[in-house]
């Protein structure tokens, strides 16, 4: 009797400890500091949400021609400038237990060849590792998040079940296009060496090394799990931008589905990416799901039905938002302001409201749309809200994953403009992990 009670008690304690160990990795893209007007987000603006975070990633740094890790804006980050590196790591004083990592790479340069050439020379890898270590040591970071900029898979048209069958035949006989990286086998071995050498350089100081798989990268080409898994603390899946209006100009579809919608590429969803890594040998506790705080928007001229259910034909990205300043991308508060409300319900044309369609299935996320009038002003936006983000956090908890990553804080509602609640996506994620 007492043995059974003890066993149950231990199971409960272990469950509580597992929940408490769930990571909430909060990304801050420092380019937000350079935006103008309402889009500008300083580190001090993040503090209302930092109590919900276990880790912060300050991103993103790049590499120069000598393959050294460098700031994209030295006058912003370094001690001889505005000292944002120091400001970021000083957060640890006010938030004990918070770990602050330096984010390198990301999904910003669009120059994968430059990054692949880093792998091909041992001297380049050494320059990268030494410069990363020096920055971490100098500015008191706790480690590195390596979001290596590998080549992306090529966008594919949405296939019907019949079309997918014929595509699989073409792929099997080598007629489905050229490989994204003809030297991927070599680069896989070299990336394994880079990860091993990075971890060895960090080991004495106990620095963290996490790896982020950027959107639309085939990780199986580059990540040798048996050879690397012991050398990274966790791997973050950027589980979004499976479809974007830049990559898929004419095909409107869910940007960050948790599961595969019917008759779509079965690989372009979060669940596939998670399952694939687990099947390849990554422990579930080392997998973190990246959740976006933004949406992707297409311009619609025709073809949009009254329900707005995708897929259908689009016409490229929407005009840039007032805060995000990027075509086809809207922060969560920008989307919230577009949804039908008392202030916009009677507006027309480009200022007219968009209708929200929720996701009771908890599989694909919500979307919003505005029907075109005479081929003008139509929009369709796939996005994340607190409910859908919370569903993904619940998925992570149910799969015993390592946690979630909020990507990124500057696109969450950090001012509380929607409902008065600041950082609603971040808070929903944290709540569902408890």
pLDDT tens figures, 252-271 = 999 999 999 999 999 999 99
Answer yes or no: are the C-beta atoms of 18 and 434 closer than 8 Å: no
Give the pLDDT score at 15.
Answer: 36
Give the pLDDT score at 173.
Answer: 38
Residues whose CB falls within 8 Å of the CB of residue 286, separated by 6 or more in sequence, listed in order: 229, 232, 233, 234, 235, 402
Give the pLDDT score at 20.
Answer: 57
CATH architecture of 16-293+384-433: Alpha-Beta Barrel (3.20)
User: Which residue's entry shows tokens 């993904």?
Assistant: 392
Give the pLDDT score at 159.
Answer: 52
User: What is the model's pTM?
Assistant: 0.91
DSSP of 178-222: --S-TTHHHHHHHHHHHHHHHHHHHHTTT-EEEEEE-TT--GGGT
Conformational region of residue 206, where left means phi above 0, alpha means psi within -120 to 50, and beta covers everything else = left
Closest CA to 29 of 145, 126, 122: 145
Give the pLDDT score at 374.
Answer: 87
- Supply the mean pLDDT for the chain: 91
Q: Which two tokens stand for residue 425?
A: 């996506």
Tens digits of residue pLDDT in 422-431: 999 999 999 9
3-class SS at 426? helix
Tens digits of residue pLDDT in 102-117: 999 998 888 999 999 9
Percent of the chain whose pLDDT exceeds 90: 83
Chain-centroid distance, C-alpha 37: 25
Q: Flag residues of the chain having pLDDT under 70.
A: 1-20, 158-177
DSSP-assigned letter for residue 302: S
Residues whose CB falls within 8 Å of the CB of residue 135, separated by 6 or more in sequence, listed in order: 61, 69, 85, 102, 141
């Amino acid at each position: 009797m007492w043995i059974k009670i003890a066993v149950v008690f231990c199971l409960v304690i272990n469950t509580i400890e597992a929940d408490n160990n769930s990571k909430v990795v909060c990304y801050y893209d420092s380019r937000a500091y350079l935006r103008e007007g309402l889009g500008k987000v300083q580190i001090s603006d993040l503090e209302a949400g930092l109590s919900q975070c276990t880790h912060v990633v300050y991103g993103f740094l790049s590499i120069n021609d000598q393959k050294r890790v460098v700031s994209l804006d030295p006058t912003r980050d370094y001690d001889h400038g505005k000292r944002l590196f120091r400001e970021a790591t000083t957060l640890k004083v006010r938030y004990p237990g918070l770990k602050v990592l330096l984010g390198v790479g990301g999904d910003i340069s669009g120059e994968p060849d430059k990054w692949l050439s880093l792998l091909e020379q041992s001297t380049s890898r050494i320059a990268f590792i030494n410069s990363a270590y020096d920055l971490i040591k100098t500015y008191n970071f706790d480690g590195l998040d390596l979001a290596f900029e590998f080549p992306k898979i090529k966008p594919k048209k949405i296939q019907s079940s019949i079309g997918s069958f014929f595509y699989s035949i073409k792929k099997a006989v080598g007629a489905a296009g050229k490989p994204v990286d003809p030297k991927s086998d070599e680069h896989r071995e070299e990336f394994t060496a880079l990860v091993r050498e990075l971890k060895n350089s960090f080991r004495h100081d106990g620095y963290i090394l996490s790896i982020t798989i950027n959107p639309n990268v085939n990780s199986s080409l580059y990540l040798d799990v048996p050879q690397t898994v012991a050398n990274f603390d966790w791997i973050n899946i950027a589980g979004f931008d499976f479809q974007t209006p830049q990559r898929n100009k004419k095909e409107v579809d869910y940007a960050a589905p948790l599961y595969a919608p019917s008759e779509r590429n079965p690989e372009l969803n979060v669940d596939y990416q998670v399952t694939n890594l687990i099947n390849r040998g990554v422990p579930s506790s080392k997998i973190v799901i990246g959740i976006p705080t933004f949406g992707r928007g297409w311009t619609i001229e025709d073809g949009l039905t009254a329900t707005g259910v995708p897929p259908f034909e689009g016409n490229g990205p929407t005009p840039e938002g007032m805060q995000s300043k990027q075509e086809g991308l809207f922060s969560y508060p920008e989307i919230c302001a577009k949804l039908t409300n008392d202030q916009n319900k009677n507006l027309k044309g480009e200022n007219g409201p968009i209708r929200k369609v929720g996701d009771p299935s908890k599989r694909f996320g919500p979307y919003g749309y505005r029907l075109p009038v005479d081929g003008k002003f139509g929009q369709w936006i796939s996005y994340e809200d607190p409910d859908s983000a919370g569903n993904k956090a619940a998925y992570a908890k149910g799969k015993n994953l390592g946690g979630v990553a909020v990507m990124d804080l500057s696109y969450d509602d950090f001012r509380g403009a929607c409902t008065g609640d600041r950082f609603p996506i971040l808070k929903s994620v944290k709540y569902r992990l408890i």
